[in-house]
Amino acid sequence: MPDSILQRVAAGDSAAIKDCLDRYSGLVWSLTRRFATPSEAEDAVQEIFLDVWKSAARFDPTVASEATFIAMIARRRLIDRRRRSSRQVGTGPELHDVPEREVRDLAAASELGEDVAAAVQALESLRPDQQRVLRLSIYQGLSHEKIAESTGIPLGTVKTHVRRGLIRLREILSGQAEGADVSQEEAS
């Protein structure tokens, strides 16, 4: 008996379509606002949900949470749109005003799934400047080169921050985290 929203969507439960919007439209809108321009954001959100509904049968709760599955589709759509848009007008993503540290609600993240909560924990284990690089890279979709250029952080260090963040996430999700503070590793 399917029980997750996406499994119900895949099974043809029409009520699940509305449930999907109720639960995840804020997530998709949040991601879209960081990637797309105001004039294309609403179209992008609609396209993303059409892809989500179409792809719902591919959702596997043993691999990732629904939030991750939907964020993955959203990122693909948004990156693809940005690529096309950049080709047309010759502009790339811009650096937004991003605070070094942001208060995160672990309870709210946990509602999105175990993996998302682990990602919050992984983020919190990083130094503020490392968190900022990860957010610029992953949340806003800036290239490593653009981040290095905008922040003055060496390119190699930008790559290291992102890489260490992902490694930390894997450690937490696989239960191998030993309490090591990544920021201390980086500082050494």
Three-class SS state of 12: coil
Q: Does 67 bind another protein (CB under 8 A)?
A: yes
Q: Which of 84, 95, 99, 150 binds another protein (CB under 8 A)?
A: 84
Q: Which is nearer to another protein, 95 or 184 (CB)?
A: 95
What character string, x for contact with another protein (CB under 8 A) and - otherwise, covers 98-127? ----xxxx--xx--xxxxxxxxx-xx----
We find the least distance from the C-beta atom of residue 1 to another protein, in angstroms, to be 17
Tokens representing 70 are: 């939907």
Distance CA 5, CA 16 (A): 6
We find the least distance from the C-beta atom of residue 187 to another protein, in angstroms, to be 18
Q: Does 29 bind another protein (CB under 8 A)?
A: yes
Q: Which of 63, 95, 150, 154 binds another protein (CB under 8 A)?
A: 63
Site for another protein in 130-149 (CB under 8 A): 134-135, 137-139, 141, 143-144
Q: Which of 37, 151, 157, 183 binds another protein (CB under 8 A)?
A: 37
DSSP class of 59? -
In angstroms, the Cα distances linking 146 to 48, 93, 143, 149, 151 are 26, 9, 5, 5, 8
Q: Does 155 bind another protein (CB under 8 A)?
A: no
Q: How far from chain centre, in Å, is Cα 176?
A: 23
Give residue 123's identity as a one-letter amino acid code. L
Closest residue by Cα to residue 27 from 90, 79, 69 = 69
Tokens representing 118 are: 């682990």
